[in-house]
Amino acid sequence: MKKLLFILLLPLIGFSQKYPFNKEDVSVNELLKGSLYIPARYTPKTDLVIIIAGSGMPDRDGNQQGMENNSLRLLAEGLAKNDIAAFSFDKRSIALKASGKLSEDDMRFDDFITDVKTIITYFRDKKQFGRIIIAGHSEGSLIGMVAANGNADAFISLAGAGRSIDQILEDQLAVPFADLKTEVHEDLQSLKNGKTFALKSPALGVIFRESVQPYLISWIKYDPQAEIAKLTIPVLVVNGTRDIQVPVSDAELLKKAKPSAKLAIINDMNHVFKAVNSDDRAQNIATYSNPSLPLVPELLLSVNQFIKSL
């Protein structure tokens, strides 16, 4: 097995004191609403971290139906307690659903990139903070690295994939749809070539239904390794050894594509930043729906240290 490199970011100097913070609702526009966490010791030079949620329909706290873990809220609070402002927001799909205008056929990956750029511009124009750092979780990592290019002062990948979505899907579907391996490959190739297709096997509808194909086409065109290599700002790549969705090898691919990036592989941390001390998949998944569990302390230490070092 490939030896893993663990970067232990454990110094406590500067992070031992926990200060209070203020929290306020902010509406960037009718689709982008979130929570702004402002440290009690705020100054106009205070750094701001814009936190981007992952796939599905997560809210500003990192929660979605059937999975309440407060991962992003705890991250934002942890930053604010250490004199770093944070803004976490609901994905546009939440506002669209509430207004009855959500249409899967119309969703595009580029919309989420535009949303982050809009948020960056909003806070730049207000001149309320100093540096703006983008922190993207899971799918939000790719969204964030594209949006950060030329717009942000630093970028943090939190459990972000190091491969394009077609490669990930082909791997993920290899076992459950082993008898449809050829069809899966052909379908992904069609999408990669920018073409939709008529679904042959209904069993694959959960992934390749016609209404979601345009979104997949817009997503596949982005290669995380190519996008992170374009960044000319400081980069931190974080992953956990208990992540059952995005393996450590993906973080290593991002590091290889961006050699100057700092890499933090956190022992026993899973995809939602919670501690898991075994290979038991059920135990791991159970943390996705347990909001009372704290974040792995090393995550905040790694992120705080990276930002303070900018």
Stretch 8-37: mean pLDDT:
75
Q: What is the pLDDT of residue 19?
A: 72
How do residues 33-81 score in pLDDT, each as one tens digit? 999 999 999 999 999 999 999 999 999 999 999 899 999 999 999 999 9
Q: Give yes or no for residue 233 having a pLDDT over 80.
A: yes
8 pLDDT band, cuts 50/70/90, is very low
Q: Is 238 helix (H, G, I), strand (E, B) or coil?
A: strand
The helix (run of H) or strand (run of E) holding residue 79 is helix 71-80
Stretch 165-187: mean pLDDT:
94
Stretch 262-274: mean pLDDT:
98
Q: Give yes or no for residue 10 having a pLDDT over 90.
A: no
Q: Give yes or no for residue 307 having a pLDDT over 50.
A: yes
* Partners of residue 297 on adjacent β-strands: none
- The answer to which of 15-19, 41-45, 106-110, 273-277 has the lowest mean pLDDT is 15-19
How do residues 78-111 score in pLDDT, each as one tens digit? 999 999 999 999 999 999 999 999 999 999 999 9
Among 292, 232, 244, 252, residue whose Cα is nearest residue 269? 244
9 pLDDT band, cuts 50/70/90, is very low
For the chain, the straight-line distance linking the first and the last C-alpha, in angstroms and rounded, comes to 34
Q: What is the pLDDT of residue 238?
A: 98
Q: Give yes or no for residue 298 having a pLDDT over 60.
A: yes
Here the tokens at position 75 are 């991250």
User: Cα–Cα distance between 93 and 194 in angstroms, integer?
Assistant: 23
Here the tokens at position 288 are 């996705």
* Mean pLDDT of the chain, nearest integer: 93
198 pLDDT band, cuts 50/70/90, is very high
Q: Listing from the earlier edge strand, what are the strands of the sheet with 154-158?
A: 21-27, 33-39, 85-89, 48-52, 132-137, 154-158, 235-240, 262-266
Here the tokens at position 267 are 């022992």
Q: What is the pLDDT of residue 18?
A: 65
Kind of pairing, strands 85-89 and 132-137?
unpaired
Percent of the chain topping pLDDT 90: 92
Kind of pairing, strands 21-27 and 48-52?
unpaired
Among 227, 258, 221, residue whose Cα is nearest residue 145? 227
Q: Give yes or no for residue 12 having a pLDDT over 60.
A: no
Here the tokens at position 58 are 């997560």
Q: Are 118 and 97 in contact (CB under 8 A)?
A: no
Among 64, 117, 58, residue whose Cα is nearest residue 88? 58
